[in-house]
Amino acid sequence: MESNNRIKNIIKIFVPLIIAMLIQVVVTFADIVGIFVINCMSNQKTEASKSIETIMSQDYTQPMNQALISAVQFSLFILIFGIMLYKIKKPSVKEGFFNIIKPPIIIFLIMGGIAGQFMVDGCLALLRPVFKTAFEKYDKLISNVTGVSTSWLMLLTVFIISPIAEEILFRGLVMTYSKRVMSAVPAVVLQALLFGVYHGNIIQGTYAFLMGVLLGFIVHKTDNLTTSIVFHIALNVSILVVPGSLLKKTSSTILTTVISAVILTICMIFIFKKTKKQEI
């Protein structure tokens, strides 16, 4: 009986990820169908522009369309996975869906998120000359957020909607189910590994794994999903505020990375001391 429950809980770890992939497929398919129908109904569109091939190569990949797909996808994540998490957590009315965090802790979470982004960008700048090919795909991905294709919907999705969705999915559902079959450290590492794989490219996947480990320990030590959401939002928003001038020279890049790591460490020590502690 105990063995059967263990197997069921192991399966439950991966069920949310399967659901996430299905949501992505359905949203993308619905988007392509929608574009096809709109093009067919438009007199201004040529016959060639109404083909699936044209939609896949042009209309489908337009920045605003990609922003809409992402916004819908992550909004569905929040709705579906939020309901799933609520059912397994069953918080009281007083506690609410998320625990409230105190202002001083919020400040250090934001500082930690910003320091984390500076540290990540510093490490990437140092590694860029060594892995030039791998960085080409990464640069294209980042340009969708900070480059010419930026839109208010994409910014809203990347900076607010997706962090909430990813925290509910990985630090909420996946880590909760993982803790049912393993101790805290392996559970944190497993959800972080899945978080890294989920991002789909080696550069982003690697630092997503490392940040996923940190976010996992934040949630475990504070017993509060809101802490990782605040940190994650600050981390993502900081993409826009990292000065490129700090990362042009190797010496300044190393100094920026080291200082950022120190600030991040100080912030984490403060947060862990001021919030509910759990054994690792």
At CA 60, angle to CA 35 and CA 68, rounded to 5? 85
Instruction: Kindly tell me the sign of the dihedral angle through the C-alpha atoms of 158, 145, 193, 256.
Output: negative
Q: At residue 166, does pLDDT exceed 80?
A: yes
Q: At residue 75, does pLDDT exceed 90?
A: yes
What pLDDT shows up at residue 270? Answer: 92
Q: Which residues, other chains included, contact 11 with Cβ-Cβ below 8 Å and sequence gap of 6+? A: none
Q: Are 239 and 117 in contact (CB under 8 A)?
A: yes
Q: At residue 173, does pLDDT exceed 70?
A: yes
Q: At residue 252, does pLDDT exceed 70?
A: yes
pTM: 0.87
Least confident piece of the model among 19-28, 156-165, 268-277: 268-277
Closest by CA to 105, choosing from 272, 271, 219, 264, is: 271
CA-CA distance, 128 to 197, in Å (whole number)?
Answer: 20
Q: 246: left (phi > 0), else alpha (psi -120 to 50), else beta?
A: alpha
Where residue 219 falls among pLDDT bands split at 50, 70, 90? very high
What share of the chain in percent tops pLDDT 70? 82
Rounded to an integer, the average pLDDT of 252-277 is 90
What is the residue-wise DSSP string for 48-94? GGGSHHHHHHTGGG-HHHHHHHHHHHHHHHHHHHHHHHHHHH---TT
